[in-house]
């Protein structure tokens, strides 16, 4: 039996090179060895204000980007969260098991309520419970998540504990974090102390998967580099350069030592020009496939629908077991 892996992206901002290198690139390898589900968390996006048209367009765009990046809708179940109503259904049951004290501790809630002072809604607060439902519906064994989502995964595990205490074991599976091999963490281009974030307001900080060649070149050439001239991988003293070298290394398959040798005696500018080229070459076929997919919305609708139907069939089983266990008449 293959283990089940589940992960998703909130439908906000732009999918970036950081998402590709840190997550989606790894998912592609996982699809061979595991039973994988990947979804777009559009309901989670609603916790901050979304323009309806932008949200709708972005959902198609992210879905097409998943496919263009090489996630295979036959090998994986790829779906849209809101098309599987079981997510919100399970979420309610879990909400009734989660003490407010546990939610109060969530650092992301604290950060987001500072950022969106005018819209501190209850969904922002219960966000991690919906995330727990996403995971538990599919009996996921492993969840690849970034550092910023660790606490939410811990809460999910706590919720399994609350459920088992009250209703017994064997209904929900206890998930674990999946720690990838390289786990490359890509940093912001202008501020390499921060992670490259898809919801960054300053677009100079990230390369989007669907940026054109001109934009990519401009952003890479304009990336902040450190004082000094030597091309040396050292995240402590040269965070900007080291970030660029990490990107270079992952995309080219060369180690950072090999890059240091190759660029001995050369300047930061040389490396930037070559890196921009590597990024452009990597993303060009993705962009082409993306443009193709986006031309045919009906086809995308079809693929979403079939993914969501497969997801529903799986999630329904867990939900029915939960409903029965808690005493709802079926």
**Residues contributing to the site for ligand TRP (CB under 6 A):** 6-10, 41, 44, 131, 134-135, 143, 145, 149
CB of 287 to ligand TRP, least distance (A): 23
Q: Which is nearer to ligand TRP, 150 or 261 (CB)?
A: 150
Q: Which is nearer to ligand TRP, 178 or 290 (CB)?
A: 178
> Tokens 């998930």 sit at which residue?
175
Active-site residue 198, yes or no?
A: yes
From the list 3, 28, 75, 112, the catalytic residue is 112
Q: Which is nearer to ligand TRP, 44 or 195 (CB)?
A: 44
Q: Which two tokens stand for residue 62?
A: 């992210």
| Cα dihedral 126, 316, 12, 34 sign | positive
Residue-level length of the chain: 330
CB of 134 to ligand TRP, least distance (A): 4
CB of 279 to ligand TRP, least distance (A): 23
CB of 137 to ligand TRP, least distance (A): 10
CB of 83 to ligand TRP, least distance (A): 15
Active-site residue 3, yes or no?
A: no
Q: Which is nearer to ligand TRP, 198 or 238 (CB)?
A: 198
From the list 198, 219, 238, 272, the catalytic residue is 198
- Which residues on neighbouring strands pair with residue 316, listed in sequence order? none
Ranges of H-type helices in the chain: 17-19, 25-33, 42-45, 52-68, 86-95, 100-104, 107-115, 122-136, 150-167, 213-221, 239-252, 256-262, 268-294, 297-326
Task: Report the DSSP pairing between strands 35-41 and 4-10.
Answer: parallel
From the list 195, 219, 238, 272, the catalytic residue is 195
CA distance 10 to 177: 18
Q: Which is nearer to ligand TRP, 86 or 134 (CB)?
A: 134
Alpha-carbon torsion, ordered 249, 251, 253, 255, to 10 deg: 0
As annotated, the active-site residues are 112, 195, 198
């Amino acid at each position: 039996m293959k283990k089940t892996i589940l992960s998703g992206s909130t439908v906000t901002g732009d999918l970036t090179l950081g998402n590709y290198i840190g997550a989606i690139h790894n998912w592609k390898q996982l699809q061979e060895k595991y039973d994988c589900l990947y979804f777009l968390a559009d309901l989670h996006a609603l916790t901050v204000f979304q323009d309806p048209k932008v949200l709708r367009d972005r959902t198609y765009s992210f879905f097409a980007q998943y496919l263009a990046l090489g996630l295979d809708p036959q090998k994986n179940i790829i779906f849209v969260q809101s098309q599987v109503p079981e997510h919100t259904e399970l979420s309610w049951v879990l909400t009734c098991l989660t003490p407010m004290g546990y939610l109060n501790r969530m650092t992301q809630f604290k950060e987001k309520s500072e950022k969106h002072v005018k819209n501190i809604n209850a969904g922002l607060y219960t966000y991690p419970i919906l995330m727990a439902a996403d995971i538990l519906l599919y009996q996921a064994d492993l969840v690849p998540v970034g550092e910023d989502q660790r606490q939410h995964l811990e809460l999910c595990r706590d919720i399994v504990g609350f459920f088992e205490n009250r209703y017994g074991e064997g209904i929900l599976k206890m998930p674990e974090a999946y720690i990838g091999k390289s786990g490359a963490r890509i940093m912001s281009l202008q501020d390499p102390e921060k992670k490259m974030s898809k919801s960054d307001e300053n677009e100079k900080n990230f390369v989007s998967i669907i940026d054109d060649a001109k934009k990519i070149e401009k952003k890479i050439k304009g990336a902040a580099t450190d004082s000094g001239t030597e091309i040396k991988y050292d995240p402590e003293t040269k965070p900007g350069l080291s970030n660029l070298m990490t990107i270079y290394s992952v995309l080219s398959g060369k180690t950072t030592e090999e890059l240091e040798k190759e660029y001995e005696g050369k300047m930061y500018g040389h490396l930037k020009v070559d890196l921009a080229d590597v990024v452009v070459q990597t993303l060009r076929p993705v962009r082409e496939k993306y443009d193709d997919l986006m031309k045919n919305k009906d086809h995308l609708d079809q693929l979403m629908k079939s993914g969501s139907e497969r997801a529903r069939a799986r999630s329904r089983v867990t939900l029915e077991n939960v409903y029965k266990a808690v005493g709802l008449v079926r």
